[in-house]
Structure 1
């Protein structure tokens, strides 16, 4: 994607995010929900601007950070919207970040799974040495 297209996506994402913030700041509970939904749409527009070939080559550390942030975002949205029925500011920002975290984080889950598996093997090796 060329620079002009990415820059246009950033401008659209910023406009959508501004619109989402206006809704979310309203005192009406429906406005908060609508604002959070628009934050998700703004996040999708941001995704078009920032995601590229680089996302498949993240280092192991950053892959783990993105997967952790993905877990936090999904948990925040689930608790604030599904359980509380009130999407507050953390749910708003989690909804905005969710598309990018999903796009980058889902690709990194196998790498993080391998890291966890390697850690489990090391613990098992150490435990077997202790038993001798």
Structure 2
């Protein structure tokens, strides 16, 4: 049985983490899924599987940051991570239906790295992440 509070925590971590890896991975998968939608070969079950990779990787990062790295699968059970993947898939599909990715040029995210961070232009919006500085 999935832990809905843990699932919500993981989903918030994916979207709001200071290290841009989780969100960057999510954007890359969304980019790939948009290409599949454009070609007419999008499969919701496969999208769910792709977002499960994001949930797994970010659960490991979460445990490494807030607990011990070996506890990631105890903090977020398989059922919880699958719930997060389903929620990410639902969010992607509803945003796509609402036209959030309308300005997505050719199904590609435009990435660039600046002096202190990474930015992406997706659907007319610009996302920017800064790297953690030591000290």
TM-score w.r.t. the length of structure 2 is 0.29
**CA radius of gyration, larger in:** 1
TM-score w.r.t. the length of structure 1 is 0.29
Whichever structure has more strand as a proportion of its residues is 2
